[in-house]
Structure 1
Amino acid sequence: MATAAKKESKPNAGFMKPVTPSKILAEVVGTEPMPRTEVTKKVWDYIKKHDLQDAANRRMINADAKLEAVFDGKKQVSMFEMTKLISNHLKA
């Protein structure tokens, strides 16, 4: 068996470095510093819990009051736009 031949992939240090959410984003994900990956995971948990994915187009997110503040006042954003808007609310 060649288990030693398998290379372990190292996570990108930039993604693993804890970031601090803004006050607005903290209402969704909490105030504790966490890696970007965890922030994204918590936002998705929030979206699923509150059924905010658009029924017709699952790539679109319908914002409630808290997410609308994070999304710069937009009522609906795409998944890709969402990650860009969230990064505006993160401090290294």
Structure 2
Amino acid sequence: MSHLSFFLGVWSHIKNNNLQDPTNRNIVNCDEKLKTILLGRSKVELSELPMLVKLHFPKVFK
């Protein structure tokens, strides 16, 4: 799975489950599934998502 497809899957999960905070759309309220991949955090800012997703794709040196 590519970094992009993983990120899009996370974003789709957020949108499909209405996990964006209704008063501040820049905050994601993590459900149990998201907590498992986002370091156990209950809330994250949208700007943090790319960095948190990237942690699951370690850099490969050739």
User: So what's the TM-score if we normalise by structure 2?
Assistant: 0.81
In 2: Cα distance, 1:81 partner to 1:63 partner: 13
Q: Sequence identity, in percent?
A: 31
1:55 equivalenced with 2:31 (yes/no): no
Unaligned 5+ runs, structure 1: 1-32
RMSD of aligned alpha carbons: 1.3
Q: Within 5 Å, give how 1:4-19 maps onto structure 2.
A: none
TM-score of the aligned structures, taking structure 1 as reference length: 0.58
Q: Which 4+ stretches in 1 moved above 4 angstroms?
A: none
**Max radius of gyration: which structure?**
1
Asked if 1:85 corresponds to 2:47, the answer is: no
Unaligned runs of 5+ in 2: none
Between Structure 1 and Structure 2, how many residues are aligned?
59
Summarize deviations over 1:26-76 as a string: whole Å, max 9, x none.
Answer: xxxxxxx22x22222111111111110110100111100010111111100
